[in-house]
Amino acid sequence: MKIEVLAFAKINLILRILRRREDGYHEIDSIVQTIDLADLLTVEPARGVQVENDLTDIDGEDLAALAARAVLRRKPGAEGVRITVKKGIPAGAGLGGGSSDAAAVIRAVDRLFPPRLSPEELLSVATDVGSDVPLFLYGGRLRMRGRGEVITRIDAAAEESFLLLVPPLRSDTGRVYRRWRPGVGGRASDAGLGANDLLSPALSIYPELVAYHRAVDRLDSLYAGMSGSGASFYAAFADPDSARGAAGRLRREFPRALVFVCSPTEEGHRITRGGSG
């Protein structure tokens, strides 16, 4: 049996950093939305855990491999899996590609080797693998608290079209978080859409991002902001035509950047083959 699954990206509509925790993580309060920009993963039984990824410069162990091993430890008799990842989500852009891949692998490996884990067990595995992984087990518009593992679904229908502008650089998440200083920000419920406490730290580390930020900020959009720790920026529009018009202008202004027009999703991943039952 072989499972194919789309792993969707996310954008942070609001990101507040509340404090640095004693365990080294940061306490956050964030509103996120999954979007239809996606990686395509194929997962099938194999010996050991093998990951083929078209990114050749991943630092450390791939989150997809960590996720597979975490599920396999709970599946007596399962030998392993082969995972093939075709990247559609830019890396180092604050779009959660690695975490989304990990959540998709958790779901696929669980389906390959019954009996299925409970929702509570899946969430526990996801939390152990990474702070952003749990949100992709749900998808849609969500509020994330704690270090990302406390998830609440927001029922409001997501109707925006999103323009994404991805500069030709990768943001170092750990470095941006370390640059953050307490004393700014607050609860997500007190902030407007587009607020991000990591914007100033990211711009101070990567001053070349200022031009991209200004370009998105001056668009005639519903709201705009930076996703995660960067380096991508987004703007929300009421309809796809408006987003596509703005995208064309940004492609001319920033020919080396990637520009996408995306729609919101109600799921963090979508099994497209082999997932029946």
> Which residues are the active-site residues?
10, 132
Residue 99 sits at φ, ψ, to 5 deg, of -70, -40
Residues 19-58, buried b or exposed e (16+ Cβ, 10 A)? eeeeeeebebbbbbbbbbbbbbbbbbeeeebebebeeeee
Residue 261, strand partner residues: 163
Spatial separation of the C-alpha atoms in residues 36 and 211, rounded to whole Å: 26
Spatial separation of the C-alpha atoms in residues 94 and 68, rounded to whole Å: 23
Strands, E assignment, the chain: 3-20, 26-45, 48-53, 80-86, 141-146, 150-153, 161-166, 223-226, 233-237, 258-262, 269-273
8 Å CB contact between 196 and 15 = yes
Q: How far is CA 206 from CA 202, 250, 264, in A?
A: 6, 20, 28
Spatial separation of the C-alpha atoms in residues 240 and 37, rounded to whole Å: 15
